[in-house]
Amino acid sequence: MGIGWRRAGARRYHQWVTDLRLRVLRGSDLPGAAELAATAFLTDDVGMLAERRSYVLEEGRGLGVFDGERLVGVADALSRRVTLPGTGPTPFAAVTWVAVAPDHRRRGVLTTLMRAQLDALHRSGGEPIAALWATEATIYGRFGYGIATENCALELPARTPFRPGVDLGPDRVVEQPRETALPLVRKLYDRIVLDRVGALSRSDGQWNYFLYDAPGARRGATAYRFALHPDGYAIFRTSTDWTPDGPKSRLRVAELMAATPAAYAALHRHVLDMDLVATVQLRSATQEPLLHMVRDPRVVRRTVTDSLWVRVVDLDRGLRARRYSAPADLVLDVTDPFCPWNEGRWRFHVDDAGVAEVSTTDSAADLALTAEELGAILLGGTLPSTLAAAGRVREHTPGAVHTLTRAFQTGTVPVCLEVF
Ligand SMILES: CC(=O)SCCNC(=O)CCNC(=O)[C@H](O)C(C)(C)COP(=O)(O)OP(=O)(O)OC[C@H]1O[C@@H](n2cnc3c(N)ncnc32)[C@H](O)[C@@H]1OP(=O)(O)O
């Protein structure tokens, strides 16, 4: 049976008769998948891609499209947990390694993979939400993914001074070799992610993937270095640059986690004060405390980008997965052509404890929105009021947008800094 699809008209897909076949990938497909991913992502480090990938492979979750014997499209969905407001780490399908061979593009291979992935999650009652990092921001909205979190690439001069009075606490930051640092890092991480909305829990394999450190993966920089504090850690690399004006090396932080303000300040001071370094780069939240600790916030260059794109797979299970900040009783009119089981009117009732009841209804709608907006607001990062101002959430009952916004927003801005 051919499974390629081609768009014909605004919303209709016709079966496109080809030799294309979809099947679940096996471990033995990894080399072919790595070849395909390398081609699609414009690299030739096939061996490295395959080795890194092997740490997180799960039987039965990767999907492949084959043209005869040749693998021409892949999409994986890893079993991961994301911290949701009020409920902590919650399973989600981490969609990744999406690639289509350049000579098979724009024939519906990606659409077929997305269709099969979401159908499987729906049918099996698997993870109620899916999430991904998008290579291009125009790809995934059509499949019901919306921008749920943003992050900032920060760059600031080394030795940037803090404001007077920033408390570094009594504890010292000590660098340790990877082997001894990792168990401590993991313990700290497990503690910190519990209430950090948007952060992802990690298994052994996911730690190996995240901290993959083969020389070819370092892009000319050093191996990872580990700086430990009793309440946090920083993992970073440096790349050396000797110029006629003196050393202008860069320090790039892979991850800095701190459970207390003093640990946060001390760890930032450690990376900012590294000798021979001219510039420090970090990936951070949009509401990063560091900006409010330095004496001159304008020396910090910031580039904001979308990070986690979220898709509510099953509307009722997805909305019930988190707690809410204020009571609400609203009827949502949801448009979701890619997952039609979510379409229609839903009563969204939140009690005083923040627990949601979600059920279908015939009552008149207070608000109308699509799956893309639902995904965007789920973590509390993108506000319904912002989407309403953009014309993407439509209010039928005055005050409904305000009620929805109060329910979804949380005390902190969610952030996901881990690309998977
Ligand atoms: C989660 C992740 O892994 S993100 C990684 C995504 N992968 C990459 O960026 C690697 C390089 N690119 C690719 O491999 C491919 O071009 C893909 C996967 C992005 C798209 O695969 P295709 O099989 O060509 O997509 P498909 O034919 O199903 O397109 C579906 C629709 O998306 C649109 N689309 C697909 N890719 C893009 C894109 N890069 N930019 C804008 N629109 C796109 C198509 O035009 C089509 O629109 P239509 O329904 O209005 O006709």
pLDDT in tens, 178-233: 999 999 999 999 999 999 999 999 999 999 999 999 999 999 999 999 999 999 99
264: left (phi over 0), alpha (psi -120 to 50) or beta: alpha
Give the residue extent of every domain in the chain.
4-127, 151-306, 319-371+385-408
- Torsion sign (Cα): 247, 253, 259, 264: positive
Instruction: For ligand 1, pick from 13, 53, 106, 113 the residue to mutate: most ligand atoms within 8 Å of CB.
Output: 106
Cα gap 93→313, rounded to integer Å:
10
- C-alpha 383 chain-centroid distance: 17
Q: 375 CA distance to ligand 1 centroid (A)? A: 19
How is domain 319-371+385-408 classified at the CATH fold level? Nonspecific Lipid-transfer Protein; Chain A (3.30.1050)
Q: Are 127 and 92 in contact (CB under 8 A)?
A: yes
CATH number of 151-306: 3.40.630.30
Ligand 1 atom closest to 109 (CA): 23
Ligand 1 atom closest to 97 (CA): 3
The type of residue at 51 is: E
Do 151-306 and 4-127 have the same topology in CATH? Answer: yes
Please give the backbone phi and psi of residue 147, each rounded to the nearest 5 degrees, phi first: -75, 110
Ligand 1 atom closest to 111 (CA): 28
Residue positions annotated with a catalytic role: 140, 420
The whole-number pLDDT of residue 18 equals: 62
CA–CA distances in Å: residue 30 to residues 41, 47, 98: 16, 10, 14
Q: Which residues are part of a known binding site for acetyl-CoA?
A: 98-100, 106-111, 135-136
Residue 152 pairs in a beta bridge with 284, 304
Name the residue at shortest CA distance from atom 37 of ligand 1. Answer: 139
Q: Which residues are part of a known binding site?
A: 98-100, 106-111, 135-136
Residue 279 pairs in a beta bridge with 157, 250
Ligand 1 atom closest to 114 (CA): 28
Residue with tokens 């019901």: 144
Instruction: For ligand 1, pick from 72, 139, 420 the residue to mutate: most ligand atoms within 8 Å of CB.
Output: 139
Please give the backbone phi and psi of residue 308, each rounded to the nearest 5 degrees, phi first: -85, 130
Name the residue at shortest CA distance from atom 26 of ligand 1. Answer: 108
State pLDDT tens for residues 128-145: 999 999 999 999 999 999
Name the residue at shortest CA distance from atom 45 of ligand 1. Answer: 106
Distant-in-sequence, close-in-space partners of 12: CB < 8 Å, separation ≥ 6: none
User: In the structure, which protein residues have their CB atom closer than 6 angstroms to any atom of ligand 1?
Assistant: 7, 40-41, 95-100, 105-111, 132-136, 138-139, 142
Residues with pLDDT less than 50, the chain: 1-2, 4-17
Q: 366 CA distance to ligand 1 centroid (A)? A: 34
Name the residue at shortest CA distance from atom 51 of ligand 1. Answer: 7
* Cα-based torsion angle of the residue sequence 257, 260, 266, 267 in order, rounded to the nearest 10 degrees: 0
Q: 100 CA distance to ligand 1 centroid (A)? A: 8
The whole-number pLDDT of residue 2 equals: 45
Q: 99 CA distance to ligand 1 centroid (A)? A: 8
**Contacts made by residues 341-348, CB under 8 angstroms, sequence distance 24+:** 341/122, 341/314, 342/312, 342/314, 342/315, 342/371, 346/315, 346/316, 348/319, 348/404
Cα gap 132→278, rounded to integer Å:
33
Cα gap 278→286, rounded to integer Å:
23
CATH number of 4-127: 3.40.630.30
pTM: 0.94
Edge-to-edge, what's the strand order for the sheet holding 20-24?
20-24, 63-67, 70-84, 88-100, 129-132, 309-312, 146-147
Q: 69 CA distance to ligand 1 centroid (A)? A: 22
CA–CA distances in Å: residue 251 to residues 182, 241, 298: 20, 11, 19
* Number of C-beta neighbours around residue 107 at 10 A: 20
Ligand 1 atom closest to 113 (CA): 28
Q: What angle do CA 57, 61, 63 make, to 5 degrees?
A: 105
Q: 274 CA distance to ligand 1 centroid (A)? A: 42
Exposed/middle/buried for 398, CB within 10 Å: 0-12, 13-18, 19+?
Answer: exposed
Q: What element of type H or E holds 284?
A: strand 277-284
